[in-house]
Amino acid sequence: MATVEVSFSPLPAHVRTARLVATAVARRSGVSETLMDEVRLAVGEACSRAVETHAAHCPDEPVKVALSSQEGRFEIEVVNAGRPAGGPGADGAQLPPGFSLAVIAGLADDVQISETNGGTSVKMSWPLSGSLAAGSPA
């Protein structure tokens, strides 16, 4: 079970909130400060992609983000309903389809993308460090 779960209406304004929550939980879980920029950017990319997909296919469905730490790793899963259109992004074809996933792959220590029931799951993880990873109280 995830340590923290967040679901939000698929509006661009909420992506910042998701970033703030993710970095707060990552910090609390024991992710190194040197990785915090990667965590912030990767979860922002995944949530932005999910918001665009939901806006196109299912604007009433919330975007779900699950944050958890286990076995020495901190994991973020962003689940979006519906399939990405594969068309131009927010700036109208300035960047190729799948660009955000490529950015995520460059940021996360490990990335798994899978199809869920009618949607897509993006799992990203980073190693925990220090005493928190060993199970000491936060």
Task: List interacting residues with other proteins (CB under 8 A).
Answer: 12-13, 15-16, 19, 37, 40-41, 44-45, 48, 51-52, 89-92, 94-95, 99-100, 102-103, 106-107
Q: Which residues pair with 70 in a beta bridge?
A: 73
For residue 82, give the DSSP letter: S
- Identify whether the C-beta of residue 82 lies closer than 8 Å to the C-beta of residue 99: no
77 - beta bridge partners?
A: 66, 123
Q: Among residues 3 and 32, whose Cβ is nearest to other proteins?
A: 32
In angstroms, the CA 4 to CA 134 distance is 19
* CB nearer to other proteins: pick between 89 and 119: 89
For strand 73-81 and strand 110-116, is the pairing parallel, antiparallel, or unpaired? unpaired
Q: How far is the CB of 14 from other proteins (least distance, A)?
A: 8
CB 1 → other proteins: shortest distance, Å? 29
Distance of closest approach, residue 15 Cβ to other proteins, in angstroms: 5
Nearer to other proteins, 45 or 77 (CB): 45
Residues forming beta bridges with residue 120, ordered by sequence position: 80, 115
User: Nearest distance from residue 74's CB to other proteins, in Å?
Assistant: 19
| Encoded tokens for 76 | 């973020």
3 state SS of 24: helix
Cβ distance to other proteins smaller for residue 14 or 123: 14
